Amino acid sequence: MKYSFLIIQFVIFIRCSIKAKEFFCNQLAPCGCSEYDVITTRIIGGEPVVNHSWGWAVSLRVDEELHFCGGTILSSQFILTAAHCVDDPEIVDFHLKAAVGTDTLTDRDGQRIAVAKIFLHPQWTSSTNENDIALLKLEKPIDFNDKSIARICFPAIDTFGREFPDIKSSLVAIGWGYTTPSGNTSNILEQVTLEAIDSHDLRCNQSIHNVTIQFCAGVDGGGKGKRKDYCNRFKYCFSLSLSLSDTCEGDSGGPLMYYSQNYRQWLIAGITSYGDGCGKSDHAGIYTRISMYIDWIESITGKDGIVIVGNENIASSIRSNFILITIYLLLHFTLYSINRSSR
């Protein structure tokens, strides 16, 4: 009885100590905000997402409904993904489609749009995974009247720097990838919280090939899909994670994102590229550094193809706030004058 009481107390302690974090978004922003706010927990490892909290998530599929890679919505016409996902010349023969507006692979929700053209980066090198980035042009535009669909933001170089993201930045990756190294894809979109790792770190420098255009991310202490779940008879559960948080096969091509507190928007920091297995404690995942490719992306999509968040947005926000404050003061002064004159 004594031990049962201690176990229950431990479960309650764990449950209370796992706090959820909600990322409140600027719903008026043209990018980087979805229908619902993102909520993550402090549990290390993958977890199911809040429905429609990642409106730019894309499932790339062949042969009707077979998911094989992830992607990110840039605009109504363009999807961002990894080059290694779509560099097979025969892939067009497999009816390549982008599924958007859905979090579940087996649901028929959302939109399915055929890919019309693939743009591989001209310096894509499969042997080292350098320049692992590609753009997909869709046959018809995405319908943004669907509130579950949104587009991602890009970081302004002047604001965030060419080497964005900074080391130790908190980042979130999403995907339908394997939840165990030898498992199957997840039917439900999952998210995992990671941290940008120094390229000199042993977990990184064993795998990375080019620190200028690639970076590492991972978190010590727990792994996606390697959780052992414990539940008491009241159905309160907690998880103990056993390795390294990571992305895995099937997550490739999906976004790694940074939440800007200043703008209250999500910015794309990287594309899931490769790693040495999944969830290994001595190897981090490698990601394509998006900040190095903004000019190339814009050369294909046009200026309307991406939305950049940075200094101009700050100036615009300051101007907007100044105008609102001025209007408020004028109204207040007018009402005060009217009240004075009526006495």
The first and second tokens of residue 106, run together, are: 């087996």
Is the CB of residue 152 less than 8 Å from the CB of residue 174? no
CB hemisphere CA count around 114 (13 angstroms): 9
Pairing of strands 78-81, 190-197: unpaired
| Cα distance between residue 243 and residue 226, in whole Å | 7
| Catalytic site residue from 53, 59, 75, 84 | 84
CA distance readout (Å), 242 to 19, 149, 200: 19, 34, 24
Known catalytic membership, residue 252:
yes
| Catalytic site residue from 132, 148, 186, 283 | 132
CB hemisphere CA count around 199 (13 angstroms): 13
Kindly report the length of the chain: 343
Q: Is residue 178 within a helix (H) or strand (E), and if so which, with residue range?
A: none
Known catalytic membership, residue 304:
no
DSSP labels, 37-83:
-EEEES-SS-EEPPTTS-TTEEEEEETTTEEEEEEEE-SSSEEEE-H
| Catalytic site residue from 34, 75, 186, 252 | 252
DSSP labels, 325-337:
HHHHHHHHHHHHH
Q: What is the per-residue burial (b if ≥16 Cβ within 10 Å, else e) of 235-255?
A: eeebbebbbbbbbbbbbbbbb
- Active site residue ranges: 84, 132, 252
